[in-house]
Structure 1
Amino acid sequence: MAASASASSSSSQVPCEKYDVFISFRGSDTRYGFLSHLMKELRRKNIDVFVDYRLERGDEISSALVKAIEGSMIALVIFSKDYASSKWCLEELVKIIECKEANQQIVIPVFYGVDPSDIRHQKGTYAKAALHDEEKFNDKVEIWRSVLKKSANLTGYDLSNFQ
Protein backbone atom coordinates (compact mmCIF):
# COMPACT_ATOMS: atom_id res chain seq x y z
CA MET A 1 0.00 0.00 0.00
CA ALA A 2 1.70 3.14 -1.21
CA ALA A 3 0.36 5.59 1.36
CA SER A 4 1.32 3.44 4.32
CA ALA A 5 4.76 2.78 2.94
CA SER A 6 5.30 6.49 2.35
CA ALA A 7 4.04 7.37 5.81
CA SER A 8 6.36 4.83 7.40
CA SER A 9 9.42 6.06 5.56
CA SER A 10 9.39 9.48 7.17
CA SER A 11 8.30 10.44 10.63
CA SER A 12 8.20 14.16 9.94
CA GLN A 13 6.50 14.44 6.58
CA VAL A 14 3.23 13.26 5.13
CA PRO A 15 3.09 12.88 1.37
CA CYS A 16 0.88 15.29 -0.59
CA GLU A 17 -1.33 12.44 -1.72
CA LYS A 18 -4.68 11.95 -0.10
CA TYR A 19 -5.54 9.04 2.13
CA ASP A 20 -8.79 7.20 2.03
CA VAL A 21 -8.96 6.93 5.83
CA PHE A 22 -7.29 8.58 8.81
CA ILE A 23 -7.66 6.56 12.01
CA SER A 24 -7.65 8.25 15.41
CA PHE A 25 -7.24 5.82 18.31
CA ARG A 26 -5.77 5.37 21.79
CA GLY A 27 -2.88 2.99 21.24
CA SER A 28 -2.83 1.41 24.67
CA ASP A 29 -6.50 0.38 24.29
CA THR A 30 -6.67 -0.84 20.71
CA ARG A 31 -3.31 -1.04 18.90
CA TYR A 32 -2.64 -4.79 19.21
CA GLY A 33 -6.22 -6.01 19.10
CA PHE A 34 -9.05 -4.31 17.31
CA LEU A 35 -6.88 -1.87 15.34
CA SER A 36 -4.51 -4.53 14.03
CA HIS A 37 -7.45 -6.61 12.74
CA LEU A 38 -9.08 -3.53 11.19
CA MET A 39 -5.82 -2.51 9.48
CA LYS A 40 -5.37 -6.01 8.07
CA GLU A 41 -8.83 -5.89 6.48
CA LEU A 42 -8.40 -2.36 5.14
CA ARG A 43 -5.07 -3.32 3.54
CA ARG A 44 -6.69 -6.42 2.06
CA LYS A 45 -9.22 -4.11 0.39
CA ASN A 46 -6.41 -1.79 -0.86
CA ILE A 47 -7.68 1.13 1.20
CA ASP A 48 -5.00 3.77 1.82
CA VAL A 49 -4.89 4.39 5.56
CA PHE A 50 -2.91 6.82 7.68
CA VAL A 51 -2.18 5.70 11.23
CA ASP A 52 0.13 7.83 13.39
CA TYR A 53 2.51 5.03 14.43
CA ARG A 54 5.70 6.90 13.66
CA LEU A 55 4.89 10.48 14.57
CA GLU A 56 6.64 12.09 17.50
CA ARG A 57 4.40 12.90 20.45
CA GLY A 58 4.53 16.36 21.93
CA ASP A 59 2.52 19.21 23.30
CA GLU A 60 1.10 20.21 19.92
CA ILE A 61 -0.11 17.95 17.17
CA SER A 62 2.48 18.02 14.42
CA SER A 63 2.00 19.62 11.03
CA ALA A 64 2.43 16.15 9.49
CA LEU A 65 -0.54 14.89 11.45
CA VAL A 66 -2.64 17.94 10.54
CA LYS A 67 -1.82 17.37 6.84
CA ALA A 68 -2.76 13.69 7.13
CA ILE A 69 -6.12 14.55 8.72
CA GLU A 70 -6.80 17.27 6.14
CA GLY A 71 -5.74 14.96 3.30
CA SER A 72 -8.07 12.12 4.24
CA MET A 73 -11.53 11.57 2.80
CA ILE A 74 -12.74 9.75 5.92
CA ALA A 75 -11.76 10.04 9.56
CA LEU A 76 -12.43 6.94 11.62
CA VAL A 77 -12.40 7.69 15.35
CA ILE A 78 -12.09 4.65 17.58
CA PHE A 79 -13.45 5.71 20.96
CA SER A 80 -12.17 3.35 23.62
CA LYS A 81 -12.10 3.44 27.41
CA ASP A 82 -9.05 5.69 27.70
CA TYR A 83 -9.33 7.71 24.46
CA ALA A 84 -10.15 10.96 26.33
CA SER A 85 -7.22 10.53 28.71
CA SER A 86 -4.90 11.41 25.82
CA LYS A 87 -4.43 15.10 25.07
CA TRP A 88 -3.02 14.01 21.70
CA CYS A 89 -6.23 12.10 20.82
CA LEU A 90 -8.39 15.05 21.87
CA GLU A 91 -6.35 17.45 19.73
CA GLU A 92 -6.70 15.06 16.76
CA LEU A 93 -10.44 15.03 17.34
CA VAL A 94 -10.59 18.84 17.34
CA LYS A 95 -8.88 18.90 13.93
CA ILE A 96 -11.11 16.11 12.61
CA ILE A 97 -14.29 17.97 13.59
CA GLU A 98 -12.88 21.18 12.06
CA CYS A 99 -12.36 19.30 8.78
CA LYS A 100 -15.86 17.84 8.97
CA GLU A 101 -17.41 21.26 9.47
CA ALA A 102 -15.24 23.12 6.93
CA ASN A 103 -14.80 20.48 4.22
CA GLN A 104 -17.58 17.94 4.83
CA GLN A 105 -15.03 15.27 5.66
CA ILE A 106 -16.80 12.04 6.57
CA VAL A 107 -16.34 11.18 10.25
CA ILE A 108 -17.25 7.72 11.47
CA PRO A 109 -17.13 7.05 15.20
CA VAL A 110 -16.53 3.52 16.44
CA PHE A 111 -17.49 2.99 20.07
CA TYR A 112 -15.17 0.19 21.17
CA GLY A 113 -15.92 -1.02 24.68
CA VAL A 114 -17.60 2.28 25.62
CA ASP A 115 -21.19 3.43 25.59
CA PRO A 116 -21.77 6.35 23.19
CA SER A 117 -23.77 8.14 25.91
CA ASP A 118 -20.70 8.09 28.19
CA ILE A 119 -18.89 10.12 25.54
CA ARG A 120 -21.86 12.33 24.72
CA HIS A 121 -22.44 13.23 28.39
CA GLN A 122 -18.85 12.70 29.59
CA LYS A 123 -19.66 9.98 32.08
CA GLY A 124 -17.54 7.06 33.28
CA THR A 125 -13.90 7.21 32.20
CA TYR A 126 -14.76 10.22 30.04
CA ALA A 127 -15.84 12.21 33.11
CA LYS A 128 -12.68 11.28 34.94
CA ALA A 129 -10.49 12.33 32.00
CA ALA A 130 -12.32 15.65 31.56
CA LEU A 131 -12.07 16.52 35.25
CA HIS A 132 -8.37 15.68 35.26
CA ASP A 133 -7.82 17.77 32.15
CA GLU A 134 -9.74 20.73 33.56
CA GLU A 135 -7.06 21.22 36.18
CA LYS A 136 -4.26 21.31 33.61
CA PHE A 137 -5.86 22.56 30.40
CA ASN A 138 -8.80 24.76 31.41
CA ASP A 139 -8.55 26.77 28.17
CA LYS A 140 -9.08 23.65 26.04
CA VAL A 141 -11.51 21.56 28.07
CA GLU A 142 -14.68 23.19 26.72
CA ILE A 143 -13.49 22.66 23.14
CA TRP A 144 -12.69 19.01 23.91
CA ARG A 145 -16.08 18.48 25.55
CA SER A 146 -17.80 20.02 22.54
CA VAL A 147 -16.02 17.83 19.96
CA LEU A 148 -16.60 14.71 22.08
CA LYS A 149 -20.31 15.48 22.15
CA LYS A 150 -20.46 16.29 18.42
CA SER A 151 -18.61 13.06 17.60
CA ALA A 152 -20.78 10.90 19.83
CA ASN A 153 -23.89 12.30 18.14
CA LEU A 154 -22.72 11.10 14.71
CA THR A 155 -23.93 7.85 13.24
CA GLY A 156 -21.28 5.23 13.78
CA TYR A 157 -20.66 1.72 14.99
CA ASP A 158 -21.46 0.72 18.54
CA LEU A 159 -19.12 -2.05 19.61
CA SER A 160 -19.59 -1.24 23.29
CA ASN A 161 -20.14 -4.91 24.11
CA PHE A 162 -17.26 -6.07 21.88
CA GLN A 163 -13.87 -6.64 23.52
Structure 2
Amino acid sequence: MNIRVIAVGKIKEKYLTQAIQEYTKRLSAYCRLELIEVKDEKIPENASEAQRQKAVDSEGRRVLSHLKDDEILATLEIQGDQLDSPTFARKIENYGIQGKSQITFVIGGSIGLSPEITSRSQWKCSFSKMTFPHQLFRVMLLEQIYRSFKIIRGETYHK
Protein backbone atom coordinates (compact mmCIF):
# COMPACT_ATOMS: atom_id res chain seq x y z
CA MET A 1 0.00 0.00 0.00
CA ASN A 2 1.10 3.56 -0.70
CA ILE A 3 0.39 6.21 1.91
CA ARG A 4 0.99 9.88 1.25
CA VAL A 5 0.66 12.69 3.76
CA ILE A 6 0.36 16.18 2.33
CA ALA A 7 0.70 18.82 5.01
CA VAL A 8 0.56 22.60 4.87
CA GLY A 9 3.57 24.23 6.54
CA LYS A 10 7.02 23.15 7.66
CA ILE A 11 8.02 21.30 10.80
CA LYS A 12 10.06 23.67 12.94
CA GLU A 13 10.69 21.69 16.11
CA LYS A 14 13.55 19.18 16.20
CA TYR A 15 11.73 16.76 18.51
CA LEU A 16 8.79 16.58 16.06
CA THR A 17 11.14 15.99 13.15
CA GLN A 18 12.74 13.14 15.11
CA ALA A 19 9.34 11.60 15.88
CA ILE A 20 8.34 11.83 12.21
CA GLN A 21 11.62 10.16 11.21
CA GLU A 22 10.99 7.37 13.72
CA TYR A 23 7.47 6.62 12.43
CA THR A 24 8.68 6.89 8.83
CA LYS A 25 11.28 4.22 9.62
CA ARG A 26 8.72 2.00 11.38
CA LEU A 27 6.19 2.36 8.56
CA SER A 28 8.74 1.32 5.93
CA ALA A 29 8.04 -2.32 6.89
CA TYR A 30 4.33 -1.93 6.06
CA CYS A 31 3.87 0.58 3.27
CA ARG A 32 5.50 3.03 0.95
CA LEU A 33 5.24 6.40 2.70
CA GLU A 34 5.64 9.77 1.06
CA LEU A 35 5.57 13.00 3.06
CA ILE A 36 4.89 16.22 1.16
CA GLU A 37 5.01 19.70 2.66
CA VAL A 38 3.45 22.65 0.90
CA LYS A 39 4.11 26.26 1.80
CA ASP A 40 1.71 27.88 4.23
CA GLU A 41 0.47 31.44 3.93
CA LYS A 42 1.46 33.97 6.54
CA ILE A 43 -1.58 35.87 7.68
CA PRO A 44 -1.88 38.51 10.39
CA GLU A 45 -3.70 37.69 13.66
CA ASN A 46 -6.46 40.17 12.83
CA ALA A 47 -6.86 39.07 9.21
CA SER A 48 -10.14 39.88 7.49
CA GLU A 49 -12.35 37.06 6.22
CA ALA A 50 -11.26 37.93 2.66
CA GLN A 51 -7.57 37.63 3.64
CA ARG A 52 -8.23 34.31 5.36
CA GLN A 53 -10.13 32.97 2.34
CA LYS A 54 -7.38 34.08 -0.02
CA ALA A 55 -4.79 32.27 2.14
CA VAL A 56 -6.86 29.06 2.31
CA ASP A 57 -7.36 29.16 -1.46
CA SER A 58 -3.61 29.61 -2.09
CA GLU A 59 -2.73 26.71 0.22
CA GLY A 60 -5.49 24.66 -1.42
CA ARG A 61 -4.02 25.19 -4.90
CA ARG A 62 -0.64 23.98 -3.63
CA VAL A 63 -2.23 20.84 -2.19
CA LEU A 64 -4.30 20.23 -5.33
CA SER A 65 -1.15 20.24 -7.46
CA HIS A 66 -0.07 17.04 -5.66
CA LEU A 67 -3.36 15.13 -5.83
CA LYS A 68 -3.92 12.20 -8.17
CA ASP A 69 -7.15 10.97 -9.70
CA ASP A 70 -6.71 7.32 -8.69
CA GLU A 71 -6.21 7.78 -4.96
CA ILE A 72 -8.38 7.77 -1.89
CA LEU A 73 -8.30 11.30 -0.53
CA ALA A 74 -8.62 11.49 3.25
CA THR A 75 -8.90 14.93 4.79
CA LEU A 76 -8.32 15.61 8.45
CA GLU A 77 -11.21 17.80 9.59
CA ILE A 78 -12.76 18.59 12.96
CA GLN A 79 -16.17 17.90 11.37
CA GLY A 80 -15.07 14.48 10.07
CA ASP A 81 -15.90 11.02 11.41
CA GLN A 82 -14.28 10.18 14.72
CA LEU A 83 -13.04 6.59 14.72
CA ASP A 84 -11.31 4.48 17.31
CA SER A 85 -7.99 2.91 16.31
CA PRO A 86 -9.36 -0.54 15.29
CA THR A 87 -12.01 1.10 13.07
CA PHE A 88 -9.39 3.40 11.54
CA ALA A 89 -7.30 0.29 10.80
CA ARG A 90 -10.26 -1.54 9.24
CA LYS A 91 -10.94 1.45 7.00
CA ILE A 92 -7.35 1.38 5.71
CA GLU A 93 -7.53 -2.40 5.32
CA ASN A 94 -10.86 -2.24 3.46
CA TYR A 95 -9.48 0.24 0.94
CA GLY A 96 -6.67 -2.23 0.27
CA ILE A 97 -9.13 -5.11 -0.13
CA GLN A 98 -11.09 -2.99 -2.62
CA GLY A 99 -7.90 -2.59 -4.66
CA LYS A 100 -7.29 1.01 -3.64
CA SER A 101 -3.54 0.99 -3.09
CA GLN A 102 -3.05 4.75 -2.67
CA ILE A 103 -4.38 6.73 0.29
CA THR A 104 -3.46 10.39 0.60
CA PHE A 105 -4.08 12.13 3.91
CA VAL A 106 -4.23 15.94 3.83
CA ILE A 107 -3.54 18.09 6.87
CA GLY A 108 -4.51 21.70 6.32
CA GLY A 109 -2.83 24.80 7.65
CA SER A 110 -3.76 26.81 10.70
CA ILE A 111 -6.87 28.21 9.03
CA GLY A 112 -8.14 24.95 7.61
CA LEU A 113 -8.66 23.37 4.21
CA SER A 114 -10.09 24.93 1.09
CA PRO A 115 -13.55 23.80 -0.04
CA GLU A 116 -11.91 22.54 -3.25
CA ILE A 117 -9.99 19.98 -1.19
CA THR A 118 -12.78 18.97 1.18
CA SER A 119 -15.27 18.53 -1.67
CA ARG A 120 -12.93 15.93 -3.27
CA SER A 121 -12.41 14.01 -0.05
CA GLN A 122 -13.73 10.44 0.11
CA TRP A 123 -12.85 10.10 3.80
CA LYS A 124 -13.31 12.99 6.20
CA CYS A 125 -11.59 12.00 9.41
CA SER A 126 -11.43 13.72 12.79
CA PHE A 127 -9.20 12.70 15.65
CA SER A 128 -11.11 14.86 18.11
CA LYS A 129 -13.26 17.94 18.46
CA MET A 130 -10.15 19.53 19.99
CA THR A 131 -7.74 21.61 17.97
CA PHE A 132 -4.15 20.35 17.78
CA PRO A 133 -1.00 22.11 16.56
CA HIS A 134 -0.60 21.22 12.89
CA GLN A 135 3.02 20.20 13.36
CA LEU A 136 2.17 17.83 16.22
CA PHE A 137 -0.74 16.41 14.29
CA ARG A 138 1.59 14.95 11.67
CA VAL A 139 3.19 12.82 14.37
CA MET A 140 -0.22 11.79 15.67
CA LEU A 141 -1.38 10.78 12.18
CA LEU A 142 1.76 8.77 11.44
CA GLU A 143 1.45 7.01 14.79
CA GLN A 144 -2.15 6.04 14.04
CA ILE A 145 -1.24 4.80 10.56
CA TYR A 146 1.56 2.71 12.11
CA ARG A 147 -0.83 1.43 14.80
CA SER A 148 -3.29 0.53 12.03
CA PHE A 149 -0.81 -1.67 10.21
CA LYS A 150 0.09 -3.40 13.47
CA ILE A 151 -3.63 -4.05 14.11
CA ILE A 152 -4.23 -5.25 10.53
CA ARG A 153 -1.38 -7.77 10.86
CA GLY A 154 -2.37 -8.85 14.36
CA GLU A 155 0.97 -7.74 15.78
CA THR A 156 1.41 -6.55 19.32
CA TYR A 157 1.46 -2.81 19.78
CA HIS A 158 -2.19 -1.90 20.03
CA LYS A 159 -3.44 -1.91 23.62
Question: Structures share a fold, TM > 0.5?
Answer: no
- TM-score interval (norm. to shorter): 0.3 to 0.5
Q: Which has the higher strand share?
A: 2
Length-normalised TM-score, structure 1: 0.35
User: TM-score when scaled to structure 2?
Assistant: 0.35
Q: Which has the higher helix share?
A: 1
Greater relative contact order, per chain length (Cα 8 Å cut-off, separation 6+): 2
